[in-house]
Amino acid sequence: MNKQTIVINGRVLTIEEVCALAEKNQSIQLSDHTDFVKRIDKGAEFIDKLLQEEGCVYGVTTGYGDSCTTSIPLKNVDDLPKHLYTFHGCGLGKHFDNQQTRAILAVRLNSLAQGFSGVRYQLLQQITRLLQQDILPLIPEEGSVGASGDLTPLSYLAAALAGERDVFFQNKKQLTKEVFKQLNIVPLTLKPKEGLAIMNGTAVMTAVACLAFRRAEYLSQLCTRITSLASVALKGNAYHFDEKLFSVKPHHGQISVAKRIREDLLLATEAPRNDSRLQDRYSLRCAPHVIGVMEDTLPWFRQFIENELNSANDNPIIDAEGEHVLHGGHFYGGHIAFAMDSMKIAVANLADLMDRQMAQLMDTKFNHGLPANLSGAKKDQAMLNHGFKAIQIAVSSWTAEALKNTMPASVFSRSTECHNQDKVSMGTIAARDCVRILELTEQVAAATLIAVVQGVELRGQQEILSPNLQKTIKQVRDEIKFLETDRAMEQELRLCIQLIRKRHWSLYD
């Protein structure tokens, strides 16, 4: 099947489209419509006009940041962008992975396509070319304070456009200049405002946020399905999810989660009753309230992320139509920082919920008749086998680490750059923290999913379960067999994690 093509022309781009480009599920094309090309080039032409009139433009005829009082002679103006991306080549840490890098390129391209950054259409073509050829700049994760934008990481994009530094191409690290030579790509010499336009924005944190959103959205659904299975395995009271009960506390996300669980459990709502146990522990009874927080925050996460994604967020803003240069602070990543700090708390609470459900499943004092540690061993082998004992310990470890990382990054603003950048967002650190918590929570979900399927099977009578639950059990068993005698589970856990990250299992419409 042919991939659909996403056209970049200044229109609104969605989180899903960024993720599709990052995952190579859709291709990209830059609009060549005459009006769009003229609108983009008009900003660069206005900058040229100002230079001819010897106007003063920040970052064009001045130094950067605290050095804005330093005037740059016109004969040296063309050298300034190269100096900008060169001295910012100090990133450290791991490199962003291929998906994240594609997302970064797509987000920066979309921002520049808004037409308020004073760059040439030719620059947009060069970024598009990198995406189309899958030439990915090697961008270190560490070095941004999130205002004045993602300067250091985005310097690696600017340098790559000019044929410098390293890229990942055809499954290996290569010199950009060698790849360009091989593909007959002409390195771009950046014009006066273009280095600043590429680097002085929120593309890195926003790209990571787009990918984080999709993972969080799927984890919320997976945690709901795991809760349904846990309720079956633990012989829970299904009427904790009664429709009337949730109508009196009408948080929309919470109501939606309870509805999904009711459908999973085939709960008849017209004649409510209590099961043999009046009240389950909170990790079952309050699961819709925990997961519902995530469900209720997803819409405003989307609003924050997509507003940033479709904004011009460098400085200065170039209004070519009105011939204004507007100096401001749109590079400040406060909205993404707040969204990521909030998302990581909501995600970590999912990990904590599943960790508590896992603890109930293991312990004969609380699991209502299941074998200790969900062991599937035959009676004559029971004393030798330990079931999910070690996995439960690991789940506790991953959960603790996730919870530890929930400290908001945005409150750790540091005054930097001679106190010019005296209040910064820390948005990129918040986004990276969120990714780590997502990784840990996916690990918790993988382990808990395998365990809870085992618990349901140990109860028996799977044939009377809802189609939803039967489908999930079958899908898990297609990949991971029942744990009867002790075996090393690492590879099966890793497989399950990968399937979760690929959103392999469809859950709720």
Residues with catalytic roles: 58
Helix/strand number for the chain, H first, E second: 18, 9
For residues 98 and 91, the answer to whether their CB atoms sit within 8 Å is no
Q: How far is 352 from 446, CA to CA, in rounded Å?
A: 14
The DSSP result for 28-85, as a single string, is EEE---HHHHHHHHHHHHHHHHHHHTT---TTTTB-SGGGGGSB--GGGGGGHHHHHH
Residue 489 — φ and ψ, nearest 5°?
A: -105, 5
CB 208 within 8 A of CB 431: yes
CA distance 245 to 261: 13
Contact 221, 294 (CB under 8 A): no
How far apart are alpha carbons 159 and 82 in whole angstroms?
A: 8
Pairing verdict, β 317-319 and 324-326: antiparallel
Q: Which two tokens stand for residue 2?
A: 């042919």
Token pair recorded at residue 392: 């439960």
Q: How far apart are CA 123 and CA 129, in angstroms?
A: 10
| Distance from C-alpha of 317 to C-alpha of 195, rounded to nearest angstrom | 14
> Could you say which DSSP state residue 464 is in?
G
Q: Are 311 and 114 in contact, with CB atoms under 8 Å apart? A: yes
DSSP string over 106-146: HHHHHHHTTS-S---HHHHHHHHHHHHHT-EE--EEE---S
How many C-beta neighbours within 10 Å does residue 27 have?
15
| First and final C-alpha spacing in the chain | 23
- What token pair was written down for 113? 């396509």
Rg (C-alpha) for the chain, rounded Å, is 26
Coil, helix or strand for 423? coil
Q: What is the C-alpha to C-alpha distance for residues 418 and 148, in angstroms, rounded to an integer?
A: 13
